[in-house]
Structure 1
Amino acid sequence: MSGLIFSILALALAVVGVGITITEELKKIRLALEKK
């Protein structure tokens, strides 16, 4: 049972990490486009 909870937490952390990474990349792209 605890293994399942740990798996869900790990998955949630991975999703949040990917979301933050994508957000940062989009910010860089937006700044690059605004400079043109």
Structure 2
Amino acid sequence: MKICCIGAGHVGGPTMAMIALKCPDVRVTVVDINKETI
């Protein structure tokens, strides 16, 4: 499975980090306009 999160702010970043940690079989991609956020 693949998940793409657009926006790595206060909700997107931590949520995707937990999904990546807890579900190693899921490919997580995070996209944000601000490179420093990622």
TM-score range relative to shorter protein: 0.3 to 0.5
Task: Pick the structure with greater CA Rg.
Answer: 1
Q: Which has the higher strand share?
A: 2
TM value normalised by structure 2: 0.35
- Using CA pairs under 8 Å that are at least 6 residues apart, name the structure with larger relative contact order, 1 or 2: 2
More helix by share: 1
